[in-house]
Amino acid sequence: MRKIIHIDMDSFYASVEIRDNPALKGRPVGIGSPIHKRGVLCTANYEARKYGVKAALPTMYALKLCPDLILVKPNFEKYRKVSLQIREIFKEYTDLIEPLSLDEAFLDVSNCKQCDGSATLIAKEIRDKIFETTKLTASAGIAPNKFLAKIASDWKKPNGQFVITPEEVSSFIFDLPVKKIFGVGKVTAEKLHGLGFETCGDIQKASLLELRSSLGSTGESLYKYSRGIDNREVRSSRERKSLSVEHTFSKDIKKIEEMVKKATLVFEELKSRLDKKDIQESKIKSVFVKIKFKDFKQTTVSDLNSNVNLNDYLVLMKKGLQRKDEPIRLLGLGVQLKTRKKESEFQTSFLKEGID
Ligand code: TTP
């Protein structure tokens, strides 16, 4: 039985900016470029969230929801510095640390001797130390696995923590809405609702076979997650090979103008994810576009190019669209990263997943 802590800083970029400019305190703040209002927000503080303003929302739209929103340009150097400070604190407790982004990490504290081995007390101590060192608050989730710990860290946000003991897993998971499950986005959630699954408890009533036939491999993951089962280890040295953002549309898209509009949104989200994961251009090997057509056939177009810019992605998208004259149901933009793998291996593995 593992003891996992998921630590997540509260409205991270916004909190750093407010800490460094107290005049922003108590006012609605969004992090995003004030000049390029055509972009999307990286995040917003809790005052702004009251208006419905949140990460990934187009800045123009956020300003409509909250005309008093103060826009602050992101400063990644500062966020990186805080990130290093919090990682130093994690290291005082365990070597099994899996950072998910600059402000978020899983810690496996199963063998940690501090605080008499109590993961709850360790989480509290870590949050206190983070505050002492950075003057920023963090929330924590404590649970027997990563899936539950991540959900739990959201439960008492901001500046709180929530524990799910092994005994509590069944009752906690039973009423959990399906959209809280990792990987279940808007479209999958709608599909699940259509099948009559509102909560994890509902999914538990279905057999593995039923889930597999109606949802494919997603069905298999849902079978496990809906029972609170997750055997993934905390991996401290994982080498990321790619990062992408995909949008599945609730209605298939036919018109090229609409595809360009969607691509622009996906692109902005990709850029902000790259920042959040601290992936700079020097780490990028190639860029790619993935398209899934109405008939579920998919194609990937890539280019050995480390510049992440919208025009290049649009060129790749148009190339992909020429391969089939059909509306599209999914658009993904991404990057392949430089790895320690040999070039030849990279090419084959990429092509394998790339074409149809
Ligand atoms: P999150 O931990 O997802 O969000 P948050 O810390 O802003 O707020 P919460 O208190 O609800 O956890 O992301 C951490 C930082 O990553 C966030 O401050 C800004 C950045 N980010 C982006 O740049 N783009 C995004 O789409 C998201 C979700 C976050």
Q: How far is the CA of 56 from the centre of ligand 1 (A)?
A: 9
Q: How far is the CA of 159 from the centre of ligand 1 (A)?
A: 15
Stated pTM of the model: 0.80
- Cβ atoms of 101 and 91 within 8 Å: the answer is no
Tokens matching residue 117 = 């081995």
CA distance 301 to 287: 9
CA distance 279 to 166: 36
What is the best residue among 276, 277, 279, 308 to mutate for testing ligand 1's pocket, by most ligand atoms within 8 Å of CB?
276
- CATH number of the domain that 139 lies in? 3.30.70.270
**If residue 349 lies in a helix (H) or strand (E), which one and from where to where?**
helix 343-354
Which residues are annotated as catalytic? 104
What integer best gives the mean pLDDT of the chain?
Answer: 90
Measured from the Cα of 46, ligand 1's closest atom is: 10
In a domain, 354, yes or no: no
What is the best residue among 7, 8, 12, 130 to mutate for testing ligand 1's pocket, by most ligand atoms within 8 Å of CB?
12
The pocket around ligand 1, CB under 6 angstroms, is made up of 8-13, 42-43, 55-56, 101, 103-104, 157-158, 272, 275-276
Last residue of a domain, one of 195, 225, 255: 225
Which tens digit of pLDDT belongs to each residue from 293-347?
999 899 999 999 888 999 999 999 999 999 999 999 999 999 999 887 544 443 3
**Do residues 204 and 301 both lie within one domain?**
no
In a domain, 217, yes or no: yes
> Which ranges constitute the DSSP H helices of 206-334?
208-215, 217-225, 256-276, 310-321
- Cβ atoms of 182 and 147 within 8 Å: the answer is yes
In a domain, 234, yes or no: no
Measured from the Cα of 272, ligand 1's closest atom is: 23
Last residue of a domain, one of 137, 164, 191: 164
**Do residues 160 and 181 both lie within one domain?**
no
The whole-number pLDDT of residue 341 equals 54
State the total domains in the chain. Answer: 3
**Do residues 11 and 72 both lie within one domain?**
yes
Which residue did the predictor score with more confidence, 40 or 30?
Answer: 30
Nearest CA to ligand 1 atom 28: 55
Last residue of a domain, one of 117, 134, 164: 164
Residue 104: is its pLDDT beyond 80?
yes
In a domain, 155, yes or no: yes
**Do residues 159 and 190 both lie within one domain?**
no
In a domain, 94, yes or no: yes
**Do residues 116 and 7 both lie within one domain?**
yes
Which tens digit of pLDDT belongs to each residue from 195-211?
999 999 999 999 999 99
Q: How far is the CA of 273 from the centre of ligand 1 (A)?
A: 9
**Do residues 157 and 254 both lie within one domain?**
no
- Cβ atoms of 24 and 70 within 8 Å: the answer is yes
Strand order in the sheet with 4-9: 97-101, 104-108, 4-9, 138-143, 161-163
In a domain, 356, yes or no: no
Q: How far is the CA of 64 from the centre of ligand 1 (A)?
A: 21
Q: How far is the CA of 10 from the centre of ligand 1 (A)?
A: 8
Confidence class for position 354, pLDDT limits 50, 70, 90: very low
What is the best residue among 19, 42, 82, 266 to mutate for testing ligand 1's pocket, by most ligand atoms within 8 Å of CB?
42
Measured from the Cα of 44, ligand 1's closest atom is: 7
Which tens digit of pLDDT belongs to each residue from 46-72?
999 999 999 988 888 999 999 999 999
What 15-21 contacts at long range (C-beta under 8 Å, 24+ apart), as own/partner pairs, is 15/45, 15/136, 15/137, 16/75, 16/78, 16/79, 16/82, 16/136, 17/72, 17/75, 18/45, 19/134, 19/135, 19/136, 20/78, 21/72
Give the residue numbers spanning the domain of 251: 242-345
